[in-house]
A = this chain, B = another copy of it.
Amino acid sequence: MNGIHIRRATFEDLPAIVALLADDPLGAQREDASLPLAQSYIAAFRAIEADPNQLLAVVIEQDCVIGTLQLTFIPGIARKGAWRGQIEAVRVASDRRDRGLGRQIFAWAIAECEKRGCRLVQLTTDRSRTDAHRFYDQLGFEPSHIGYKRAL
């Protein structure tokens, strides 16, 4: 173990979370980490906090936020009424990216999904993130689906 812990995010973590999302080849074009944060980030945090099926988390090392991820617990009728755990927005600080940390984050995420009774964990990843694909393959995820998106 390498001295990290993972916990539910608080409002005080929000600037660090946005900074992590912006520190990424895709996120750099989409985010605005300047302070004060845009009101839309604050409203989103409050919506996540109010939803018992959302778990926004931060990875902490020596009192610093060095990673983030979001879990969404989704009830569904399919597969005999199976809950799914969905993992989105996983980011690790660029100077902390190593295979060991990613594995710890995913072990935590999967354990949280198990605690909630999920029978399936799912995520989508951009086709361009080839390093991530290898990582998910190694963790036992199956690339069984195509992820479609449409902007509104």
What is the interface of chain A, defined by CB distance below 8 A to chain B? 14, 17-18, 21, 27, 30-32, 38, 40-45, 47-48, 51, 53-54, 56, 68, 70, 72, 74-83, 85-86, 88-89, 110, 113-114, 118-127, 133, 136, 139-152
Contact = CB atoms under 8 A, between A and B. Distances in A.
Contact of A44 (B42, B76, B143): B76
Given A78-B88, A127-B145, 11 more contacts: A43-B81, A48-B76, A53-B53, A68-B77, A122-B147, A122-B149, A122-B150, A139-B150, A142-B150, A143-B147, A146-B146
User: Nearest 8 pairs between A and B by C-beta?
Assistant: A145-B147, A44-B81, A47-B75, A141-B148, A40-B81, A124-B145, A147-B147, A141-B150
A143 B152 contact: no
Q: How many copies does the complex hold?
A: 2
Interface of chain A, main secondary structure: mixed
